[in-house]
Amino acid sequence: MRYLLFIWLMVWGCLPALAQDVHNPLIPDAERVWKSYQILEKNRLAIIQQFDYLNSFPKTKDVFVAVFDPDDRKQLHYIYEPYLTALEEAGKVLPDSVLKIGIGICKDMKWSSGVSDRLQHVVLVVAADHPEIFVEQAYKLKKKELEALIQYLADVENNPLCAIYQKLLKNLHEVGAYNIEGKLLRAKGSGH
């Protein structure tokens, strides 16, 4: 009986790993994110787990793409949604950290549907709710990086993201960030 219980516990303990292709070993960056997410998932409200998750989350476009959108569609590509949802949720408590990470990645991204689109959504939502922090982080960028970030964020399709984009513009205006508001308006008006 103990033997059967042991086997059952082993199988049950391995179920989370089945969400990821076991024939596809994770690269160290993806494994770090995966492990941190497993801990965060047990208590989403614990700030220490949120900090740990943000510390393990990719900080650059290249690492982000390698973890969530590699050409071979492996790593965490097919299960990226809960990871980016966790990033968005962390933005409610730690918006400065989330925007620093998001802007650090987005300044080098080109919009496409899927993972890139979801990251754009996360950054727009957190930025719209915390425009002062968004402006502070955006002004730390070099001129070309800021222009690239603006273009990336302006690539908003006619869907609920447009409402979030409009909320960001309104909130930027309310906090007096007319320069960035104007850049976002011009980028949207230039065909994006």
Among the listed residues 181, 177, 180, 178, the one whose alpha carbon sits nearest the alpha carbon of residue 169: 181
Which residue is it, tokens 């984009």?
165
CA-CA-CA-CA torsion for 67, 72, 75, 81, nearest 10 degrees? 70
User: What's the pLDDT at 160?
Assistant: 64
Q: What is the pLDDT of residues 139-192, one digit of tens each?
A: 999 999 999 999 999 987 656 668 899 999 999 999 999 999 999 999 887 544
Domain residues for the domain of 41 are 2-189
CA 74 to chain centre: 18
Arithmetic mean of pLDDT over the chain: 88
Does the pLDDT value for residue 61 go beyond 50? Answer: yes
What pTM was computed for the model?
0.84
Q: Which residue has the higher pLDDT, 89 or 7?
A: 89
C-alpha span between 187 and 120 (Å, rounded): 15
* CA distances in angstroms from 80 to 48, 75, 132, 145, 182, listed in the order given: 22, 9, 28, 25, 33
Number of domains in the chain: 1
C-alpha span between 147 and 168 (Å, rounded): 17
17: helix, coil or strand?
helix
Q: Which residue has the higher pLDDT, 130 or 156?
A: 130
* CA distances in angstroms from 170 to 43, 129, 173, 175, listed in the order given: 34, 11, 5, 9
Does the pLDDT value for residue 24 go beyond 90? Answer: no
